[in-house]
Structures are given as C-alpha cells and as structure tokens.
Amino acid sequence: MAAAKIIPDPNYEERVRASFARQNAMATIGAELTLVTPGIIEIEMPFSEKLTQQHGFLHAGVISTALDSACGYAALSTIPDDASVLTIEFKVNLLAPGRGVRFLFRGSVTKPGRTIVVADGQAYAIGADDEAKLIATMTGTMMAVTGREGIEG
C-alpha cells in the first residue's frame, strides 16, 4: 500500500511543546507530553481521584480530553508552521474501564493533508503490574487553519 508521506516542518517539536504548554486543561488533568515525533504523539498522566466517574474510574470525558490533544498534536506536527489545528469532530469507543495507576494516550496521523487531517488514537491503562491495557480508541478529524480563518465559517 502506498503510504502517505509526512514531511514535517523542522520546528514541529518546538511548536507542539509550546502549544501543549498553553493548554491549561492538560495541566489540570496532570498530563505530560512524553513522545513528540512527526505524526505520532504520546501523552501520559497518573490516575487522579479528582477525575473520576461515578464508579471511581477515569471519566470517559477525561480520556477523550487527552486523546483529543494527542490526535490534535499528531496533526499539528505534520502541517506548515503558519497553520494551527482545530478539531472538527471525534469519535471515542470506550473498551474497558479507566482503571489504572497511570494512563498513556497515543495519537497518530492516519491521513495527512493540507486542509483535513485524520488521526487515530489509543488510550491504555497501566496497572500496578506495569501491564498496559487498551481502554479506548479515537478517530478524529482535524482542520488546518491559517490566518484568521476558523471553524466558525
């Protein structure tokens, strides 16, 4: 199969790290960037009792928050440096409870593009035994925007 070529902007890592640092939601959930490569991003965070749903597991929305950032930065790493990324939509499947000591979220670009970038994500719960378990998947559609153009119009 003909793979789509990803030619990263030379400053992709700096741009991803700077933008991530501005996402206050990432600090609030305790998330850190742990891998930044062209088209693949990883984010990790410890379990926190402040982020649970009613059974004491990580809330599906918090899983989605970290996956959305992972997919969005995977997209950002592949586009020109005068563009930013907006999430148009995403879908998340919750495969198992968000029960773990730590969590790892990976976002990968499935389809690069000038305007539309599609990324897929996986969320893993890591137990006290260091075993990783797939707990959720995401498919997200991102749009590269430049200048003042926005998703509003």
**Cα–Cα distance list, 140 to 83, 86, 87, 91, 108 (Å):** 18, 10, 7, 6, 10
Residues 102-141 that bind its own copies (CB under 8 A): 110-111, 113-116, 118, 120, 124, 131-134, 137, 139, 141
- Tell me the HSE value of 63 on the side-chain side, using a 13 A CA sphere: 28
DSSP state for residue 114 in the 8-state scheme: S
Q: How many CA atoms lie within 13 Å of 42's alpha carbon, on the beta-carbon side?
A: 7
Q: Answer yes or no whether residue 1 interacts with its own copies by CB under 8 A.
A: yes
Among 67, 83, 109, 123, binds its own copies (CB under 8 A): 67
Q: Would you count residue 45 as binding its own copies (CB under 8 A)?
A: no
State how far the Cα of 97 lies from the Cα of 125, in Å rounded to an integer.
9
Nearer to its own copies, 10 or 22 (CB): 22
Question: Which residue is it, tokens 């440096």?
Answer: 81
Specify the residue, 37 or 141, whose C-beta has the smaller distance to its own copies: 141
Question: Could you list the residues that contact its own copies (CB under 8 A)?
Answer: 1-2, 19-20, 22-25, 27-28, 49-55, 59-62, 64-69, 84, 86-97, 110-111, 113-116, 118, 120, 124, 131-134, 137, 139, 141, 143, 149-153
